[in-house]
Chain A
Amino acid sequence: MMAGFFRVAWHVMRKDLTIEVRSREVLLTTLLFAVSVVLIFSFALVREGRAPDDVAAGILWVAISFSGTLAMGRTFERERYNDTLRALILAPADRPAIYAGKLLGVLILMVLVEVVLVPLVGLLFTAPILRYPGMLTALLVAGTLGFAAVGTLFAAMLVRVRSRDSLLPILLYPVTVPVMIAGVRGTAALFQAAPDEDMARFWIAGLLLWDSVFITLALWTFEPVMTE
């Protein structure tokens, strides 16, 4: 039973990533968008050639959430465009497993974007990203997971809705703000002049708590909302 779940999730993820490797559409657009967001922030915040202190964490997470929304919208858009959504839903597999596969695909894409985004923010806003590599990675992965868990579910729900592009962010951002708060506060605790490890650990624990709440809720809800 569990083995079947992971096998289906693996296949769905591999299918998405294979398409992505061939077209690179979502990765490139998301990446470019994330870089543009960082650039816009630099225009908004940099004064006399210097970035103010303690803004790097906020900019990083805003760029992650904005570009993540783009990636999530696209992964299901592709299913709708090729009329494969029904086939995916009809497949003799657990619906939650399909969700898990989609989530993994989105997560990997977002992590790839972050691999470029984090050094960029570190470079442009002089953030010490190499000071606590382990904790920073934990914060980024846990935060992205929570954000993507809700986003993948909402993007799947909205795929048949006409105004999905405008609805996805307004549904997603209020719900995932706890994740944003934890991510920004935890990252800021690591980036500040006198780093606060306990604070970062507290927020990592908070993120893991929210991840488990969001993933449980999403696995429950995916089946009924995807039934026509």
Chain B
Amino acid sequence: MRRLSTPFIGLSAGMLLVAPWIINAAPYESTMGLVQKVFYFHFPSAILFLLAATICGIQSARFLFFKKPSADAWALAAAELGLLFGAMTLVTGPLWARKAWGVWWVWDPRLTSSLLLFLIFAAYLILRKYGGPGSDKLAAGMALFGMGNVPFIYVSVNVWRTLHPMTSVVPTLPTDMGIPLWFCFAAFTMLFLALMNLRATLALQQARVEALYLAEDEA
């Protein structure tokens, strides 16, 4: 698994370098013009933000109910990446909204629940940092509730009347907009996987070192 990280990071770095040209070559959207192009970064970060929440929740459940110690490392890695990609989503979104809707922020269900999910990740990491011994378990319990918010976010936009584009927009994109979108999506996903892999490996190694120290103390 670890050996995959280096080529993934290299490839995604290369793709992200090329991405501006590909995005530039895509046609202008008729009503929103240039700002619509932030979509090519906004959509991948938002999807990976939700993916991070799902991974964090599933790994936390594995850690909590099946006592898999390695799952905790993956949950932590996913939570940190969730905070990162959530921040990217929440920064690119308002940049787009300012032009498209005329305001930086509206309190519609999708925006509100994304902000909430971001806060849940922040609270999760604060609990892990300042919770003291045993906080890994408590944070895992917290993450389960955070994951419960993911379907809420995904569905909210389709159930309630809202300004945010529907999720059905993406499959119906014209091809010349679809290509840069999925190109960026692939680059972001590889970056996400590589970073998560590295972070989880680091957490596992930290746990091993701690276990060795403890064993040394007891001996």
Residue positions of A touching B, CB distance < 8 A: 150, 153-154, 157-158, 160-163, 167, 170-171, 173-175, 177-178, 181, 213-214, 217, 220-221, 224-225, 228
What 7 A-B pairs have minimum CB-CB distances, sorted nearest first? Answer: A174-B119, A157-B138, A221-B141, A224-B64, A175-B145, A174-B120, A225-B141
**CB contact between A225 and one of B119, B137, B148 (< 8 Å): that residue:** B137
Interface size class of B (residues with CB under 8 A): 20 to 34
Enumerate 6 A-B pairs (CB-CB under 8 Å) in ascending A order. A153-B141, A167-B126, A171-B127, A175-B145, A214-B145, A221-B64
Given A157-B138, A157-B141: A213 and B148 interface contact (C-beta under 8 Å): yes
Least Cβ–Cβ distance between A53 and chain B, in angstroms: 19
Q: Tell me the bound Cα distance from A154 to B145 in angstroms.
A: 11
| Residues of chain B with a CB closer than 8 A to A170's CB | 123, 126
Binds A, one of B28-36, B93-101, B128-136, B185-193: B128-136
Q: In whole Å, how far is A151's beta carbon from the nearest beta carbon of chain B?
A: 11
Give Cα A214–Cα B147 distance, bound, in whole angstroms. Answer: 12
Cβ-defined contact, B152 with A178, below 8 A: yes
A185 to B134, CA, bound (A): 38
Chain B neighbourhood of A220, CB < 8 A: 65, 144
Q: Is the CB of B142 within 8 A of A178?
A: no
Give Cα A150–Cα B65 distance, bound, in whole angstroms. 18
Q: How far is the CB of B149 from chain A (nearest CB, A)?
A: 7
Are B142 and A154 in contact (CB-based, < 8 A)?
Answer: yes
Report if A171-B132 is in contact (Cβ < 8 Å); known contacts: A153-B141, A157-B141, A217-B148. no
Residues 103-158 of B at the A interface (beta carbon under 8 Å): 112-113, 116, 119-120, 123, 126-127, 130-132, 134-135, 137-138, 140-142, 144-146, 148-149, 152
Supposing A167-B131, A221-B64 touch, asked if A150 and B145 sit within 8 A by C-beta, the answer is yes
Q: Check A225–B126 contact: CB distance below 8 A.
A: no
- B123 CB to closest chain A CB (Å) equals 5
Q: Quote the shortest CB–CB distance from A37 to chain B (angstroms).
A: 21
A224 touches B137 (CB 8 A): yes
Q: Which chain B residues lie closer than 8 Å to A224 at the CB level?
A: 64-65, 137, 141
Instruction: Please determine whether B149 and A178 come into contact, CB atoms closer than 8 angstroms.
Output: yes
CB distance from A25 to the nearest CB of B (A): 26
Whole-angstrom distance between the Cβ of B58 and the nearest chain A Cβ: 14
In the complex, what distance in Å separates the CA atom of A160 from the CA atom of B149? Answer: 27
In the complex, what distance in Å separates the CA atom of A167 from the CA atom of B127? 7
Q: Is B138 in contact with A174, judged by CB distance below 8 angstroms?
A: no
Chain B min CB distance to A176 (Å): 9
Determine how close the nearest CB of chain B comes to the CB of A208; give it in whole angstroms.
15
* A161 close to B138 (CB less than 8 A): yes
> What residues of chain A lie closer than 8 Å to B148, measured between beta carbons?
213-214, 217
> Which residues of the partner chain A approach B142 to less than 8 Å between Cβ atoms?
154, 157, 171, 175
On whether the beta carbons of B119 and A161 are closer than 8 Å, the reply is no
Residues A225 and B138 in contact in the complex (CB < 8 Å), given A163-B130, A217-B145: yes
Closest Cβ neighbor of A170 among chain B residues: B123
CA distance A224 to B137 in the complex (A): 8
Would you call A160 and B134 a contact (CB within 8 A)? yes
What residue in chain A is nearest B151 (Cβ atoms)? A213
Further contacts, 8 of them, CB under 8 A, given A157-B141, A220-B65: A150-B145, A157-B138, A158-B138, A162-B132, A163-B130, A175-B120, A221-B144, A224-B137
Q: Tell me the nearest residue of chain A to B134, going by C-beta.
A: A160
List, in ascending order, chain B residues with CB within 8 A of A217's CB: 144-145, 148
Q: How far is it, in angstroms, between the C-alpha of A160 and the C-alpha of B141 when the chains are bound? A: 15
* Chain A positions within 8 Å of B116 at CB level: 174, 177
* A158 proximity list for chain B (CB < 8 A): 131, 138
Are A161's CB and B132's CB within 8 A? yes
Q: Which residues of A contact B141 (CB under 8 A)?
A: 153-154, 157, 221, 224-225
- B146/A175 in contact, CB under 8 A: yes
Q: How far is the CA of A150 from the CA of B137 in the complex (A)?
A: 16
